[in-house]
Structure 1
Protein backbone atom coordinates (compact mmCIF):
# COMPACT_ATOMS: atom_id res chain seq x y z
CA UNK A 1 0.00 0.00 0.00
CA UNK A 2 1.58 3.28 -1.05
CA UNK A 3 0.97 6.58 0.68
CA UNK A 4 -0.81 9.53 -0.93
CA UNK A 5 0.78 12.93 -1.45
CA UNK A 6 -1.72 14.38 1.05
CA UNK A 7 -0.67 11.80 3.64
CA UNK A 8 3.03 12.52 3.02
CA UNK A 9 2.46 16.29 3.31
CA UNK A 10 0.52 15.88 6.54
CA UNK A 11 3.38 13.88 8.06
CA UNK A 12 5.97 16.42 6.86
CA UNK A 13 4.18 19.33 8.55
CA UNK A 14 3.32 17.53 11.78
CA UNK A 15 5.53 18.59 14.69
CA UNK A 16 7.63 16.12 16.59
CA UNK A 17 6.46 17.84 19.80
CA UNK A 18 2.85 16.90 19.02
CA UNK A 19 3.68 13.20 18.72
CA UNK A 20 6.38 12.79 21.36
CA UNK A 21 3.97 12.76 24.37
CA UNK A 22 2.06 9.93 22.67
CA UNK A 23 5.29 7.94 22.31
CA UNK A 24 6.03 8.46 26.02
CA UNK A 25 2.52 7.44 27.07
CA UNK A 26 2.59 4.37 24.82
CA UNK A 27 5.86 3.00 26.21
CA UNK A 28 5.19 3.90 29.85
CA UNK A 29 1.80 2.16 29.74
CA UNK A 30 3.70 -1.01 28.94
CA UNK A 31 6.24 -0.55 31.75
CA UNK A 32 9.02 0.72 29.53
CA UNK A 33 10.91 3.91 30.38
CA UNK A 34 11.38 7.30 28.82
CA UNK A 35 15.12 6.56 28.92
CA UNK A 36 14.58 3.48 26.75
CA UNK A 37 12.48 5.59 24.38
CA UNK A 38 15.30 8.14 24.14
CA UNK A 39 17.77 5.34 23.51
CA UNK A 40 15.65 4.09 20.60
CA UNK A 41 15.22 7.60 19.16
CA UNK A 42 18.96 8.29 19.50
CA UNK A 43 19.79 5.01 17.74
CA UNK A 44 17.61 5.96 14.78
CA UNK A 45 18.34 9.70 14.54
CA UNK A 46 21.56 10.39 16.43
CA UNK A 47 19.79 12.97 18.61
CA UNK A 48 20.80 13.08 22.27
CA UNK A 49 18.25 13.70 25.01
CA UNK A 50 19.32 17.37 25.21
CA UNK A 51 18.91 17.77 21.45
CA UNK A 52 15.48 16.10 21.61
CA UNK A 53 14.28 18.53 24.24
CA UNK A 54 15.48 21.46 22.10
CA UNK A 55 13.66 20.08 19.04
CA UNK A 56 10.49 19.70 21.11
CA UNK A 57 10.86 23.22 22.51
CA UNK A 58 11.38 24.61 18.99
CA UNK A 59 8.34 22.68 17.72
CA UNK A 60 10.17 21.42 14.65
CA UNK A 61 8.24 19.57 11.96
CA UNK A 62 9.04 15.96 11.14
CA UNK A 63 10.53 17.28 7.91
CA UNK A 64 13.08 19.37 9.83
CA UNK A 65 13.52 16.66 12.47
CA UNK A 66 14.65 14.08 9.92
CA UNK A 67 16.44 16.52 7.61
CA UNK A 68 18.86 17.33 10.44
CA UNK A 69 19.08 13.79 11.83
CA UNK A 70 21.93 11.40 11.22
CA UNK A 71 19.96 8.32 10.31
CA UNK A 72 21.44 5.06 11.57
CA UNK A 73 22.99 3.06 8.70
CA UNK A 74 20.98 0.03 9.89
CA UNK A 75 17.63 1.85 9.77
CA UNK A 76 16.80 -0.08 6.60
CA UNK A 77 16.59 -3.20 8.79
CA UNK A 78 13.40 -1.82 10.39
CA UNK A 79 10.68 -3.68 8.54
CA UNK A 80 7.09 -4.70 8.95
CA UNK A 81 3.66 -3.10 9.06
CA UNK A 82 2.89 0.03 11.04
CA UNK A 83 -0.25 2.15 10.83
CA UNK A 84 -1.48 -0.06 8.00
CA UNK A 85 1.60 0.51 5.81
CA UNK A 86 4.37 -1.95 5.04
CA UNK A 87 7.50 0.08 5.71
CA UNK A 88 9.49 -1.55 2.91
CA UNK A 89 6.87 -0.43 0.36
CA UNK A 90 6.75 3.27 1.35
CA UNK A 91 8.33 5.32 -1.43
CA UNK A 92 8.42 8.77 0.21
CA UNK A 93 11.70 8.99 2.16
CA UNK A 94 10.38 11.19 4.98
CA UNK A 95 7.25 9.11 5.48
CA UNK A 96 9.41 5.98 5.59
CA UNK A 97 11.70 7.55 8.21
CA UNK A 98 8.73 8.56 10.40
CA UNK A 99 7.36 5.03 10.12
CA UNK A 100 10.78 3.65 11.13
CA UNK A 101 10.41 5.67 14.33
CA UNK A 102 6.80 4.59 14.84
CA UNK A 103 7.79 0.94 14.40
CA UNK A 104 10.67 1.18 16.88
CA UNK A 105 8.39 2.81 19.48
CA UNK A 106 5.81 0.10 18.84
CA UNK A 107 8.41 -2.65 19.32
CA UNK A 108 9.54 -1.03 22.57
CA UNK A 109 5.96 -0.83 23.84
CA UNK A 110 5.37 -4.48 22.92
CA UNK A 111 8.23 -5.55 25.18
CA UNK A 112 10.80 -6.44 22.56
CA UNK A 113 14.37 -6.55 23.90
CA UNK A 114 16.38 -3.38 23.32
CA UNK A 115 19.13 -5.34 21.52
CA UNK A 116 16.56 -6.58 18.99
CA UNK A 117 14.97 -3.14 18.57
CA UNK A 118 18.37 -1.58 17.91
CA UNK A 119 19.20 -4.32 15.42
CA UNK A 120 22.37 -5.28 17.32
CA UNK A 121 24.11 -8.17 15.62
CA UNK A 122 25.58 -10.91 17.78
Structure 2
Protein backbone atom coordinates (compact mmCIF):
# COMPACT_ATOMS: atom_id res chain seq x y z
CA UNK A 1 0.00 0.00 0.00
CA UNK A 2 1.39 3.34 -1.03
CA UNK A 3 0.40 6.55 0.79
CA UNK A 4 0.50 9.77 -1.20
CA UNK A 5 2.17 12.65 0.61
CA UNK A 6 0.90 16.18 0.26
CA UNK A 7 1.78 19.59 1.64
CA UNK A 8 -0.87 20.71 4.15
CA UNK A 9 0.15 24.38 3.89
CA UNK A 10 -0.24 24.32 0.13
CA UNK A 11 -3.67 22.70 0.40
CA UNK A 12 -4.85 25.33 2.91
CA UNK A 13 -3.60 28.12 0.65
CA UNK A 14 -5.50 26.62 -2.25
CA UNK A 15 -8.67 26.37 -0.16
CA UNK A 16 -8.45 29.90 1.21
CA UNK A 17 -7.49 31.23 -2.19
CA UNK A 18 -10.59 29.63 -3.69
CA UNK A 19 -12.77 31.03 -0.90
CA UNK A 20 -11.42 34.56 -1.27
CA UNK A 21 -11.87 34.36 -5.05
CA UNK A 22 -15.47 33.26 -4.54
CA UNK A 23 -16.04 36.14 -2.11
CA UNK A 24 -14.51 38.60 -4.59
CA UNK A 25 -16.70 37.23 -7.36
CA UNK A 26 -19.80 37.70 -5.16
CA UNK A 27 -18.83 41.31 -4.38
CA UNK A 28 -18.30 42.04 -8.06
CA UNK A 29 -21.68 40.50 -8.90
CA UNK A 30 -23.36 42.64 -6.23
CA UNK A 31 -21.65 45.77 -7.49
CA UNK A 32 -22.90 45.07 -11.02
CA UNK A 33 -26.47 44.53 -9.77
CA UNK A 34 -27.50 48.20 -9.68
CA UNK A 35 -29.96 49.03 -8.30
CA UNK A 36 -30.07 46.25 -5.74
CA UNK A 37 -33.22 45.02 -4.11
CA UNK A 38 -35.34 48.18 -4.04
CA UNK A 39 -37.81 46.66 -1.61
CA UNK A 40 -35.01 46.15 0.93
CA UNK A 41 -33.81 49.72 0.38
CA UNK A 42 -37.33 51.01 1.02
CA UNK A 43 -37.58 48.99 4.26
CA UNK A 44 -34.17 50.27 5.38
CA UNK A 45 -35.24 53.87 4.74
CA UNK A 46 -38.48 53.36 6.68
CA UNK A 47 -36.59 51.75 9.56
CA UNK A 48 -34.23 54.73 9.63
CA UNK A 49 -37.17 57.12 9.75
CA UNK A 50 -38.77 55.11 12.58
CA UNK A 51 -35.59 55.29 14.65
CA UNK A 52 -35.22 59.01 13.92
CA UNK A 53 -38.82 59.71 14.94
CA UNK A 54 -38.39 57.65 18.10
CA UNK A 55 -35.34 59.71 19.05
CA UNK A 56 -37.24 62.93 18.37
CA UNK A 57 -40.24 61.81 20.46
CA UNK A 58 -38.16 60.55 23.38
CA UNK A 59 -37.68 63.97 25.09
CA UNK A 60 -41.41 64.66 24.80
CA UNK A 61 -42.30 61.46 26.63
CA UNK A 62 -39.67 62.12 29.30
CA UNK A 63 -41.53 65.28 30.37
CA UNK A 64 -44.69 63.35 31.25
CA UNK A 65 -44.99 62.89 35.00
CA UNK A 66 -45.32 59.33 36.19
CA UNK A 67 -48.30 58.72 38.38
CA UNK A 68 -51.18 56.32 38.31
CA UNK A 69 -50.92 52.72 37.29
CA UNK A 70 -47.15 52.36 36.78
CA UNK A 71 -46.01 54.85 39.45
CA UNK A 72 -42.53 55.33 38.00
CA UNK A 73 -39.53 53.13 38.54
CA UNK A 74 -37.24 51.16 36.26
CA UNK A 75 -40.04 49.12 34.70
CA UNK A 76 -41.84 52.24 33.55
CA UNK A 77 -38.64 53.63 32.01
CA UNK A 78 -38.22 50.43 30.03
CA UNK A 79 -41.87 50.42 28.99
CA UNK A 80 -41.76 54.06 27.90
CA UNK A 81 -38.66 53.41 25.81
CA UNK A 82 -40.36 50.53 24.03
CA UNK A 83 -43.56 52.54 23.62
CA UNK A 84 -41.72 55.49 22.04
CA UNK A 85 -39.98 53.08 19.68
CA UNK A 86 -43.31 51.59 18.60
CA UNK A 87 -44.90 55.03 18.17
CA UNK A 88 -42.01 55.95 15.86
CA UNK A 89 -42.57 52.77 13.85
CA UNK A 90 -46.31 53.46 13.62
CA UNK A 91 -45.78 57.00 12.39
CA UNK A 92 -43.27 55.79 9.81
CA UNK A 93 -45.61 53.06 8.53
CA UNK A 94 -48.47 55.54 8.29
CA UNK A 95 -46.48 57.70 5.88
CA UNK A 96 -44.03 59.35 8.23
CA UNK A 97 -42.79 62.86 7.76
CA UNK A 98 -40.93 62.40 4.47
CA UNK A 99 -37.54 61.36 5.76
CA UNK A 100 -37.84 57.79 4.46
CA UNK A 101 -38.36 58.93 0.87
CA UNK A 102 -35.30 61.19 1.00
CA UNK A 103 -33.17 58.44 2.52
CA UNK A 104 -34.47 55.97 -0.09
CA UNK A 105 -33.53 58.29 -2.96
CA UNK A 106 -30.05 58.80 -1.50
CA UNK A 107 -29.55 55.04 -1.11
CA UNK A 108 -30.48 54.57 -4.75
CA UNK A 109 -27.99 57.26 -5.78
CA UNK A 110 -25.24 55.64 -3.69
CA UNK A 111 -25.77 52.33 -5.46
CA UNK A 112 -25.48 53.93 -8.88
CA UNK A 113 -22.05 55.36 -8.15
Please report the TM-score for the alignment, with normalisation by the length of structure 2. 0.32
Tell which structure's C-alpha radius of gyration is larger.
2
Higher normalized helix content (fraction of residues): 2
